[in-house]
Structure 1
């Protein structure tokens, strides 16, 4: 070890406190970078495992390959597993509505294919022989042709041909020049008869451009096919592109991007950019905070060793040797801090993952656990980034110190360079602060560069803490609003199911364990013809100018409720049941202008305002077709407007909801639905709603019942409670990671402030000793240091609080553009108060520690100390 390195080690031992604090900063920095990298790897591994469960655990599919190719691939080096199904052929889909998908594609699964390629059953069961078949639900949803369990299919199966070329699922349908014609032809080869035993969701391997809906049967061992689809799983997925280059040849292939994208191996450039950009931003924030801390440590170290460097330079030390001396100090600190940081980072993120793992399972993949995944490459990268952070932090001050002239270093004349006018204070400031405060203010002014990093560190901590708190507050507010307006736990929604079938299913589903309340309903779009003079002034402030004699067609919803539910509502409103039941009964409705509607009076209506002047009126209502009322089919009704909250409707399939501030809904008993139905109208949505003591268990039992009932109509089963629970889980996860991140960043800031203030006080020991030697009392001395603390804290808060408020507002605008969902901007008073207290507390505690050390020193010794 050379003499420079020995001197460096002696200096580190002499300043143990500063060295330990710097090592703690490196530990925190390395721990955060390691934690971010490890969590990123764990999350991607979780997403890849979940996608493999949902879409299949394979990496590449070869389409339309011969059996010889399948045999060759099973013996390839690096292949973990293969599965194949027979491409039995195509059949025309009679009555299909999608011109780009006119075929049924028959796939004959082997046992390996059933194990490797996941099948999600909607109803029925899997085929047990080559005479049974599964029909994809997309045939009805996308193709417009319905099949039911038990149906018999007689299909003329053949091959798609474009001249002499055989076409497969990877080749889109080739239509002709005129509508309804095709350039390709279907050449029939055999007649096959199948029995439909189940309905399944569209297989994950079926491309959106595929010309045929995939129907799955079991491969016939007696029938030797000449075309297969082969699915290959590699031992090391990162070699997928090299494997394709060596084996594919002229064969068509498709990557399983749903799985590969989470390994960074797909061609989804947008996802890759997002993935690396988010990780890069987080690591950059950590590095900035860490560089502040470590840079300050080395700057202060060099300030202590300035005269030492000057003396070494005077006896022949080169600038390179001096720089290497400082870099050696950085390497020593890194050698101790980085390994500890890596261990702390892995342990802390492992603890966090164990806390949030269950919540992740309830949001995404219930049967795939989120586990800690330690990646050696990720750890190496984290260690390298940490070391680069240290070396950058050390090199900048080392270069400046090495280039300082020898005499300046020995005399230390470059310590403070300032003109008198730069530290001049006003008479008003002197009168307000007194002598002690004036001295503190002058010292703050003459050492601006040295103390700027303290202020920046505190500002960074304040902005991050308040911004994260604002984000969590907004998410909680959104969750609370969602919970407040939910009137059912489980919903079953459909559009085209017959009432008899739906009500038969209703009788079964309401017997599920845990269900204590149930109902059914339907929703239909209607239009109401109203006189302009009947509408309230507030409505016309929203709608604009009008003529008093004008007739306005207002869109309205008719919600048909189960008769018992409707009757209970009538009784709850105190209305006479005999007037509101029967064929010619009066109807009840809610007609309001909803909150936060901007009016022409330039203020906001924060309550629900009546649309109509009277509480009971006669109207002509008519069904809507394509958004236009058909008044020739109108009927006269008497409507009473009531003050109540109608039961929630079921979500309309494919509809994201309306932002119209006009709410006009009529409630009618379900038994009168036929009265309002016409040949040109249809129900927008209908279905069943349930309240349950255990919604998750009830929904699972209902799903089994629906599959057993052989339902073929398109439907959706909503677990509203679970959806809200997902929201709560997301907020919990956001809380955990936001506050973990903020705590660690804050610890870096605290270490930075502690290191900088305590060492600066140490550097000023002669100056402070001189003040004490000329008669400054302990009380006045403490008062001066308290003023310095106040100046640090107030300067940091002066910049930090406004930036944090702006950041919080931008987060709110980004999450809820225009105040959507009635989410209000909450000014972060509480988190600002915590920040103010924390900043002042940290600064004062650090100053007390440093001053206690100074007070214990002998004044004469401090004055004699030449800081060598």
Structure 2
């Protein structure tokens, strides 16, 4: 006996054949439509894109670290995709490439320090004669007799006197507001000027001798006519001194007060060690023309620097000069020709030594770049072979590797400069700036050299691997593990 639910009084089920046919048709249509869009997208993806897993055509944009690759050439997109898949290896390689840049920037202040220490910056010619400052001077006849000595090419007569000079306290940078030797804070008066009881040294020179200082210029220019018209001076950087402050933050256009008169800085030059030693304890030192000098002192020349012709023996000139001035009291005669020659030879040797050392550092960095990137390309022979099998030309392979190498170079430069420049600045300020007074500035030449060498090395590293890739058959490349 059938259950009641299936009996005559149970529910009835009605089947509509048209509805079944329509539902089946709609299902088939929906299935076809759902597959049509992915199929259309897949049809627009090239074999190269499929192998490299990089989107192209009208497909949805792929992003790597938030950057879209759709607008890039396919070679660049693949390169960025591969870098994104090997982030750790990419970062380690770039860091290793940056070591050469770090070493170069770190050792640069040391080479500057040694070069400045060996630099012959004495403005005393080959042979010189000097009188005590403020006590006596040379007559015109004595200067004329110096010029007549055999072998003398020129005589530079200099007027040296001591004056009271100061300048505004706020012209000193925060790093210079301490005495260089005692590290005591520099005081200022009620007018905002630096307080000092130590006299400064003023050197009066001819226009020709002023122009001869151009080799020592750091800022500004040597223009005697402008110095005369503007009541100008040429400020000398200070060396280590018990009473001096570092004037490295002053610039052309600033003014200093000399005996109550405002004088405009026309240029800033390197320190003259011998001149400062001769002048004794001094606050600041500066050059000016004879015309400006005469506003403050009527002193005659008390120093004469003799420059000799090439090949002339300085001892003979020294002996003659000393004999001529034998009756002059308190005169000091010196021969620094040998010292200048020795300084030049030592400077040459040190240049070869330290710039050679820097060249070796650069060479090590270049070889490291070539070896690292070259090896990285060779170990990917199978991957590149698959890309070529998928339709990528050797030109596209080359472009892809160029994009990758450019990324290595840019990141290595970024790391090297970001870390290296603060180190270079720290070493420079604690070695060169505090000792010689030469202010720090961005080493643009060094940065350009480092950038050019790094970029050149990155692209040179591709020459050998690309040559091997070009000669290798695709079928062989894809079988290499």
TM value normalised by structure 2: 0.55
User: 1:181-580 alignment to 2 at 5 Å?
Assistant: 425-426=64-65, 428-433=67-72, 435-448=74-87, 450-451=89-90, 454-466=93-105, 482=121, 486=123, 488-493=125-130, 511-518=148-155, 544-545=189-190
The one of 791, 811, 833 equivalent to 2:448 is 833
* SS class of match (2:462): helix
Which protein has greater RCO, CA pairs closer than 8 Å, 6+ apart?
Answer: 2
Q: Does 1:699 align with 2:329?
A: no
> Which region of structure 1 is more displaced relative to structure 2, 758-767 or 473-482?
473-482
State how many pairs are aligned: 356
- Supply the distance in 2 between the matched residues of 1:467 and 1:801 (Cα, whole angstroms): 11
Instruction: Name the counterpart of 2:221.
Output: none
- Supply the distance in 2 between the matched residues of 1:831 and 1:798 (Cα, whole angstroms): 14
Instruction: Name the counterpart of 1:777.
Output: 393
Instruction: Name the counterpart of 1:609.
Output: 255
* 2:155–2:306 Cα contact (<8 Å) kept: yes
Instruction: Name the counterpart of 2:16.
Output: none
* SS class of match (1:491): strand
Judged with a 3 Å threshold, the aligned counterparts in structure 2 of structure 1 residues 720 and 756 are, in CA distance, closer, same or farther, namely: same
- Supply the distance in 2 between the matched residues of 1:508 and 1:592 (Cα, whole angstroms): 30
Deviations 1:559-602 (A, max 9, x none): 899xxxxxxxxxx99xxxxxxxxxxxxxxxx89795899xxxxx
* 1:523–1:559 Cα contact (<8 Å) kept: yes
Instruction: Name the counterpart of 1:743.
Output: 359
- Supply the distance in 1 between the matched residues of 2:337 and 2:305 (Cα, whole angstroms): 11
* SS class of match (1:697): coil
Q: Does 1:810 align with 2:426?
A: yes
Judged with a 3 Å threshold, the aligned counterparts in structure 2 of structure 1 residues 704 and 758 are, in CA distance, closer, same or farther, namely: same
Structure 1 unaligned spans of 5+: 1-422, 528-534, 562-571, 574-589, 598-602, 617-640, 671-685
Instruction: Name the counterpart of 1:668.
Output: 298
Q: Aligned-pair RMSD on alpha carbons?
A: 5.6
Q: Which has the larger strand fraction?
A: 1
* 1:765–1:862 Cα contact (<8 Å) kept: yes
Judged with a 3 Å threshold, the aligned counterparts in structure 2 of structure 1 residues 553 and 832 are, in CA distance, closer, same or farther, namely: closer
- Supply the distance in 2 between the matched residues of 1:519 and 1:856 (Cα, whole angstroms): 71
* 1:440–1:784 Cα contact (<8 Å) kept: yes
- Supply the distance in 2 between the matched residues of 1:439 and 1:642 (Cα, whole angstroms): 61
Structure 2 unaligned spans of 5+: 1-61, 172-187, 206-223, 226-230, 239-248
* 1:441–1:788 Cα contact (<8 Å) kept: yes
> Which region of structure 1 is more displaced relative to structure 2, 712-721 or 750-759?
712-721
Higher gyration radius (CA): 2
Deviations 1:156-177 (A, max 9, x none): xxxxxxxxxxxxxxxxxxxxxx
- Supply the distance in 1 between the matched residues of 2:399 and 2:326 (Cα, whole angstroms): 81
- Supply the distance in 2 between the matched residues of 1:649 and 1:806 (Cα, whole angstroms): 29
The Cα shift of 1:752 comes to 2.8
The Cα shift of 1:801 comes to 1.9
Deviations 1:435-487 (A, max 9, x none): 5334323433444555556434431222344556676678889999958xx47
* 1:492–1:716 Cα contact (<8 Å) kept: yes
Instruction: Name the counterpart of 1:753.
Output: 369
TM value normalised by structure 1: 0.33
The one of 831, 837, 845 equivalent to 2:460 is 845
Judged with a 3 Å threshold, the aligned counterparts in structure 2 of structure 1 residues 744 and 555 are, in CA distance, closer, same or farther, namely: closer
Instruction: Name the counterpart of 1:9.
Output: none
Judged with a 3 Å threshold, the aligned counterparts in structure 2 of structure 1 residues 813 and 656 are, in CA distance, closer, same or farther, namely: farther
* SS class of match (1:659): coil
The Cα shift of 1:797 comes to 0.8
